[in-house]
Structure 1
Amino acid sequence: MSLTRRSLLRRTAALGGAAAAASLFSPALVRAQTPVRMVLNWRYQGPQSWFFLAQDRGYFADAGIEMIIDQGNGSGAAVGAVASGSYDVGFGDVNALIQLAAQKPDEAPICVYQMYNKPPFTVGVMADSGIETAKDLEGKKLGGSANDGALKLWPAFVKIAGLDDSGIEITNFQPNLREQMLKGGQVDGVFGYVNTIRFSAKLSGMDPDTDIRFINYGDYGMDLYSNGLIVPKAMTQEQPELVSGMVEAINRGVADTLADMDAAVDSVAEREPLINKAIEKERLIATLQDEMNHPELAEYGLGAVDPERFAKAIDIVVEANGLPRTPEVSEIYTDAFLPPMSERITKLL
């Protein structure tokens, strides 16, 4: 086990005396900090707040980690960034990880803390477009960022929803153009996570509750997990204490976020002062409700998965995409670095 600040304090109390307390802060006992570069799934927003709280409150430092957190360019891209070695850690989509592991198992990283346990993938359309079901997407023009998780799962959705995609046109554009492209009619539908589209549309002056309709993948049988903490397999083998410490730090960051959401959003604003804090708080709450609050949370705790459900999710992705092999759950996810059940979060709201 790594020597955390808490264990040092316990040790100090056992030794007793001012000299022991002073020695706690002596240079000899200051932990060396290992630089770790993390890429997020997206730009700095409310649902990234637990990472920043963990950083600001010294939880990563407690684990001997100097964490550097960069904005991302899509949940699928985060997986590729870790696999390529560009980043040490990513907050990415496990479905992209499943696809990589099925095709290039030696390159695939592994998820050590599963956070989004409900499928957020969707195609957003204008409510007055006449598109009401997945079947209505046939013959339409759809668009999104090339690294968007929902777009990467589109072939699987086409198969499961029974669509004829021969007349569907897919176009790529920068993520910040998504809501503008939809509102302006340049595309009939856009790929994304429900709450990403919903609150970005709200920031652009739209009322997502009346202006946008969501064709959700989960409504068509794609019961998938999505974003989790992704690390190289080599890190789990060579630096297990670092991985455990990082997971513990993030778990504490989530607990702090739940205890004080205003402080959580403030931590995001420290990195991105131009955010609308009221909307980012709404986005945070919606993410907790819609993407992280599966009933299994009460049984397994945040960070863990239901092994049977996870195996079925792997089967869905493999079969629908015609992948060459079906990875084992253990190739995609491990619970070896989770905190004990007594410290896991089993209720969000």
Structure 2
Amino acid sequence: MHRRAFTRTLAAAALAATLVAAAGCDDSDDTAKASGQSLEKVTYLTSFGTFGRDAYAYVAKEKGYFADAGFDVDIKPGGGTGENLKIVTAGQAQFAPIDLTGLLLAAGSGQASNYVAVSGIQQRTMAAIITLEGNGITSPKDLEGKTLSDSPASVVRNLFPTYAKLANIDASKVTWQNGTPQTLMGTLAAGKAAGIGQFVVGKPTVEAIAKKPAIVLPYSDYLQDLYGNVLLTSQAYAKAHPDRVKAFTGALLKGLGDAIANPDEAAQVLKKYVPTTNPQAAAAELTLMGPFVKSEASGVPVGALDSQRVARSIAILQGSGQIKPGLTPEQVIDFSLVPTA
């Protein structure tokens, strides 16, 4: 009896040791997962500040889409097309949305290298001038003699000569002053500028800040072939990690789809990460952005880019004298990484 009891004691001790060891392994695995050690740390820049239009990246983070794709993403406020381009090409961020027209302008003038677009975000340009009722601007021609504010790196400002030519505006009669993503709307509300460079979806946020009705002059009224934002990464990263680029793109576009389908939810997610967010204005921006994200052409997936459309965009910019001849779509877009139907 004594020997049998001793044997049972040894067996119980062995079982306990096995369970402890197993539990220790599980805890270690869970700790590793929780710490994100298996995830690649990358930096993502928003397009322009932290407005509702960029909430989709925070949705992808909040819902675990980035983590599921193998990424631990640090989202930072972007400074517009030119600034984002500099940061990505310098390797200080791995991904950023950049207006494709701004990218073409930079490429066509030889101002940038080591970059590649890998996905569309908006199927039409959202570039616009936004003003307020009472500022004497109701049509493009009214911009003459006025002072506008925007970042020097903004695609709205850099594309203005082409827009002006097509809209019959004398660009030499329009004065530009420098602004930042954080100050532009306040500048307009305070009457320090008659209009600002913005995306069309900025209208609700402008009205919330200025407490006045806003008037929008969309560039797409005259530049219908131009895409909006595209997802950018460096050539080096895309060449070394094409599968990771595709995985990141898929996760981001999933967040984009959710944000467009449920703008109120996305606005609350944005407020969680950016407490100064006005949820109503953010949701309104996303609602306005929906038609720009989804192509009217059947069978065209979210994120698609068409080389012929890009070629037409290049031709428009060349025709207005903003870029030199010789640029091709393949020089700025890696179509092997772009989502397809």
Q: TM-score range by the shorter chain?
A: 0.7 to 0.9
- 2:121 is matched with 115
* Residue aligning to 1:53: 59
Q: How many residues align?
A: 313
Pick the aligned partner of 2:257 from 250, 255, 258. 255
Equivalences for 1:28-177 in 2 at 5 Å? 32-104=38-110, 107-177=113-183
Percent of matched pairs sharing the same residue: 23
AA in 1 matched with 2:296 = P
CA contact (8 A) 1:157 1:320 kept: no
Which 5+ residue runs of structure 1 have no aligned equivalent?
1-18, 342-349
- Retained in 2: the 8 A contact 1:112–1:334? yes
Quick check: 1:335 aligned with 2:335?
yes
What is the alpha-carbon distance in structure 2 between the residues aligned to residue 57 and residue 149 of structure 1? 31
Aligned to 2:207: 202
1-side partners of 2:252 and 2:211: how far apart? 33
Q: Taking structure 1 as reference, are residues 50 and 300 closer, same or farther at Cα in structure 2, changes over 3 Å only?
A: same
Matched to 1:170, the amino acid is W
Tell me the equivalent position of 2:18. Answer: none
TM value normalised by structure 2: 0.82
Structure 2 distance, partners of 1:128, 1:315, is 37
Equivalent runs, 1:271-282 vs 2, <5 Å: 271-282=273-284
CA gap 1:313/1:278 in 2 versus in 1, 3 angstroms: same
Q: Runs in 1 of length 4+ with deviation above 4 angstroms?
A: none
SS of equivalent to 2:183? helix
Match of 2:184 among 178, 183, 195: 178
- 1:26 Cα deviation (Å)? 5.1
Q: Which residue does 1:292 correspond to in 2?
A: 293
Q: 1:307 to 1:200 in 2, by over 3 A?
A: same
Report Cα offsets for 1:40-89 as digits up to 9, x if no partner. Answer: 11222322222122222322222222211101122332222212322211
Contact 2:52 2:267 in 1 (8 A): yes
Structure 2 distance, partners of 1:184, 1:49, is: 27
d(CA) in 1 for partners of 2:95, 2:221 = 31
Q: Offset at 1:293?
A: 3.4
What is the deviation of 1:281? Answer: 1.1
- When residues 54 and 132 of structure 1 are mapped into structure 2, their CA distance, relative to the original with a 3 A threshold, is closer
SS of 2:293's equivalent in the other structure is coil
Which ranges of structure 2 fall in alignment gaps of 5 or more residues?
A: 1-21
Distance 2:281 2:192 in 1: 26
**1:205/1:158 Cα in 2 relative to 1: closer, same or farther (>3 Å)?**
closer
CA distance in 2, matches of 1:179, 1:228: 24
Cα deviation for residue 321 of structure 1 reads 4.1
| C-alpha displacement of 1:229 | 0.8
1:237-281 CA-to-partner distances (Å, cap 9, x unmatched) read 111111011011112222333454333222211211221212211
Q: Secondary structure, in 3 states, of the residue corresponding to 1:159?
A: helix
Partner Cα distance (2:237, 2:243) in 1: 10
- 8 Å Cα contact 1:300-1:306 kept in structure 2: no
Q: C-alpha displacement at 1:325, in angstroms?
A: 3.3
Q: CA distance change for structure 1 residues 52 and 126 in 2, over 3 Å: closer, same or farther?
A: closer
Match for residue 219 of structure 2 among 217, 221, 226? 217
2:232 — aligned with what? Answer: 230
1:314 aligns to what?
314
Structure number with larger C-alpha Rg? 2
Amino acid in the other structure paired with 1:47: R
TM-score w.r.t. length of structure 1 = 0.80
Secondary structure of 2:182's counterpart equals helix
SS for the counterpart of 2:320 is helix
1:144-200 per-position Cα deviation (integer Å, ceiling 9, x unaligned)? 22222211211222222233223322111233332333344332222111222x122
Aligned CA RMSD, in angstroms, stands at 2.6
